Amino acid sequence: MSRLRVDAQCVDSLREKVCAWDLDFMQLEKGGLAATIEQAALARLLMTRGQFSRKLEQRGGSPVGYRTFGFSLNPESPFSWRGHSVEANKVLLFPQNGELYAVSEPGFHVMTVSVPEAYFDAYLDKNFSLLDQQRLKRQEVFECSDRAMNQLRQTFSYALRGEELAPAQTGWLESEMMTALFGACIEGQDLVSLRAGRRQKLVLAATESIEQMGGHKLNICELSTELGVSVRTLEYAFRDHYQLGPKAYSIAYRMAQVRRELLRMDGAHGGVAAVASAWGFKHLGKFSASYRQFFGELPSQTLAERHGA
């Protein structure tokens, strides 16, 4: 069993070091970040466990060529995933394209299990009726019993304890994992919501527009007109998905871009003031104070860290 552990105080470090996943994070609230991702690869399964101390937007994709399951290890920290509200006893099954779009709250603690597509299909064919196979392939979110979720958490916590396993033990553990995963899902109920899907599409369209604005400040009336909805509808969709409004999201996005540019600077293209101004922060003193509240350090400290000062 091969293992990887990444501890980080910056979302960019996570994106660069985690294996197989295509990840892009953005911090959505003020405060220093503490993040840990652990990975363990068995003969066929890839397990990934993530813990984040701050509210984050997560985008990207699960490992290519795999079907990926996910479930919470912290029942007290619900999160939003692809328009669904994910609470304690829910198991997720990523779509075949692997799309990741989630908003996690402080205390987020999740386990994902990636299964090769060929193994996934063969397991279904061997163990389930055609009706159950179709159901499992169609659904994204499954409501599970307390018993099934406890079994899942116990099985996968055992797998990440750090003990070296003999080949025979690895095969047994993979079998136990597959039984726990599929058993939990098959007793679940279909929770796909068309209304939730529509809200997600609206939020995605709005965030794309905000990204295209670059350093221009958000005018929520203009954005709602562009999207063909009322200001109230747009505010509701953002607060339902992020628990914050479009303007606060715009500020968080621009703060994240400033930090990303500072971490990439080579010293030849100006300093903090130039980057902040380019992203719409004209008052350097207020910007620096807000930046410190977001990331736990001054922008000058981020720049010094980039150059090893």
pLDDT over threshold 50, residue 307: yes
Higher pLDDT residue, 134 or 260? 260
Q: Looking at the structure, do residues 24 and 161 belong to the same domain, yes or no?
A: yes
3-state secondary structure 159-216: HCCCCCCCHHHHHHHHHHHHHHHHHHHHCCCECCCHHHHHHHHHHHHHHHHHHHCCCC
Q: How far apart are CA 111 and CA 45, in angstroms?
A: 13
CATH number for the domain spanning 252: value is 1.10.10.60
Element (H, E) at 295: helix 284-295
Q: In whole angstroms, what separates CA 199 from the centre of its chain?
A: 18
CATH number for the domain spanning 29: value is 2.60.120.10
Q: Looking at the structure, do residues 161 and 55 belong to the same domain, yes or no?
A: yes
pLDDT band at 286 (very low <50, low <70, confident <90, very high): very high
What pLDDT is stored for residue 191 in this prediction?
A: 40
Mean pLDDT value across residues 207-231: 91
Q: Looking at the structure, do residues 36 and 138 belong to the same domain, yes or no?
A: yes
pLDDT band at 186 (very low <50, low <70, confident <90, very high): confident
What pLDDT digit, counting tens, does each position of 60-105 carry?
Answer: 999 999 999 999 999 889 999 998 888 888 999 999 999 999 999 9
What pLDDT is stored for residue 289 in this prediction?
A: 94
Q: Looking at the structure, do residues 134 and 204 belong to the same domain, yes or no?
A: no
pLDDT band at 153 (very low <50, low <70, confident <90, very high): confident
Q: Looking at the structure, do residues 144 and 185 belong to the same domain, yes or no?
A: yes
Q: How far apart are CA 14 and CA 37, in angstroms?
A: 8
Q: How far apart are CA 205 and CA 132, in angstroms?
A: 34
What pLDDT is stored for residue 83 in this prediction?
A: 86
Tokens coding 187: 């007793």
Q: How far apart are CA 298 and CA 302, in angstroms?
A: 7
Q: What residue has token string 């990439």?
A: 264
What pLDDT is stored for residue 33 in this prediction?
A: 92
Q: Looking at the structure, do residues 158 and 231 belong to the same domain, yes or no?
A: no
Structural domain of 269: 195-306
Do 202 and 170 meet the contact criterion of CB atoms below 8 Å apart?
no
Of 150, 175, 192, at which residue does a domain stop? 192
Q: How far apart are CA 213 and CA 247, in angstroms?
A: 13
What pLDDT is stored for residue 193 in this prediction?
A: 45
Q: Looking at the structure, do residues 153 and 257 belong to the same domain, yes or no?
A: no
Domain count, the chain: 2
C-alpha dist (Å) from residue 169 to 1, 44, 115, 154, 175: 11, 13, 18, 16, 10
What pLDDT digit, counting tens, does each position of 31-60 carry?
Answer: 989 999 999 898 899 999 999 999 999 999
pTM, entire model = 0.80
* Average of per-residue pLDDT values in the chain: 87
What pLDDT is stored for residue 156 in this prediction?
A: 83
Higher pLDDT residue, 128 or 76? 76
Q: Looking at the structure, do residues 167 and 281 belong to the same domain, yes or no?
A: no
C-alpha dist (Å) from residue 250 to 25, 76, 256, 258, 292: 15, 27, 10, 12, 17
Q: Looking at the structure, do residues 94 and 177 belong to the same domain, yes or no?
A: yes
C-alpha dist (Å) from residue 11 to 6, 39, 89, 263: 11, 17, 27, 11
pLDDT over threshold 80, residue 245: yes
Of 192, 211, 235, at which residue does a domain stop? 192
Element (H, E) at 96: none
pLDDT over threshold 70, residue 171: yes
Q: Looking at the structure, do residues 224 and 299 belong to the same domain, yes or no?
A: yes
Q: Where are the alpha helices (DSSP H) in 38-116?
A: none
Name the percent of the chain lying above pLDDT 90.
Answer: 50
Element (H, E) at 39: strand 35-41
pLDDT over threshold 60, residue 195: no
What pLDDT digit, counting tens, does each position of 253-277 carry?
Answer: 999 999 999 988 875 456 899 999 9
Q: Looking at the structure, do residues 94 and 188 belong to the same domain, yes or no?
A: yes
What pLDDT is stored for residue 163 in this prediction?
A: 65
What pLDDT is stored for residue 192 in this prediction?
A: 43
Q: How far apart are CA 98 and CA 178, in angstroms?
A: 19
Q: Looking at the structure, do residues 222 and 243 belong to the same domain, yes or no?
A: yes
Of 147, 167, 192, at which residue does a domain stop? 192
What pLDDT is stored for residue 134 in this prediction?
A: 81
Higher pLDDT residue, 13 or 24? 24
Mean pLDDT value across residues 162-169: 69
Higher pLDDT residue, 9 or 110? 110
pLDDT over threshold 60, residue 190: no
Tokens coding 156: 């996968």
What pLDDT is stored for residue 158 in this prediction?
A: 74
Q: Which residues contact 253 (CB under 8 A, 6 or more apart)?
A: 26, 207, 210, 211
